[in-house]
Structure 1
């Protein structure tokens, strides 16, 4: 398996994998995949990765800014998704590990993730990559009429923002 930088031609695969995450009901508040324009505009242009094997995109990871304010320029939210048939094979682990390195190369000092408590696999992957649980944001938003909590996790860089 190869982890490489995202190319625009990967987007149909990213969209399909994202839809699989949406279908679980435990990956995102989003109910439909974003269009290319929405997705491209919401993610940093750097730190976009795909996991590929035999020309098949098996997963993707990217970061999005949490705010347009300069003071938060080094803080980003993490997205990691793996195709349903390949979950449990450490692809998410490898993507997130590489994404951390990419983010630090681009002066990101803190990564955060908001994860549904039911998404145990995602919580474990983030924990293994140095994220810590800050708390639970209770009833953060409604999804299909049901209030959902999220676990807020963060990872502070050991090399960026320590001066």
Structure 2
């Protein structure tokens, strides 16, 4: 398996994996995956990765800017998704480690993640990669008819001068 830069031609596989994550009910508040143009416009251009094995996308990771204000230019939110059939094999952790490296090359000093407390495996890989839980956002969003909490995790770069 290798970690590669995500390209537009990977979108159909990336979208399918995203939809598998949505279907779990514990990966995102999103209920549908966007089309490429919308996804592309909302994610940082220089930090998009896929896990690839035998020309098959097994997972993906990307960053979203948390703000358009220049003072937050080095702060981004992390997304990591792994295909149903590839879960439990360490792919998410490898993607997150590579995304951290890529983010630091591009001068990001803080990465954050909002994770449902029920998503134990995602919390664990983030903690294993140096993220720490800094808070719980209670009833931050509604899914169907239920209010959901998220844990806010953060990782500060040790090499970008902070």
Normalising by structure 1, what TM-score? 0.98
Q: What secondary structure is seen at the aligned counterpart in 2 of 1:68?
A: coil
Give 1:42's aligned residue: 42
State the alpha-carbon separation in 2 of the partners of residues 4 and 137 from structure 1: 33
List runs of 5+ in structure 2 lacking aligned partners. none
What is the CA distance between 1:145 and its match in structure 2? 1.4
State the alpha-carbon separation in 1 of the partners of residues 40 and 145 from structure 2: 28
The list of structure 1 runs, each at least 4 consecutive aligned residues, that deviate by more than 4 angstroms after superposition, is none
Give 1:143's aligned residue: 143
State the alpha-carbon separation in 1 of the partners of residues 85 and 11 from structure 2: 19
State the alpha-carbon separation in 2 of the partners of residues 34 and 28 from structure 1: 13
- How many residues are paired up? 162
Give 1:96's aligned residue: 96
List runs of 5+ in structure 1 lacking aligned partners. none
Question: What do the CA deviations read for 1:99-152 (whole angstroms, capped 9, x no partner)?
Answer: 000000000000000000000000000000000000110000101111000000
CA root-mean-square deviation = 0.5
Normalising by structure 2, what TM-score? 0.99
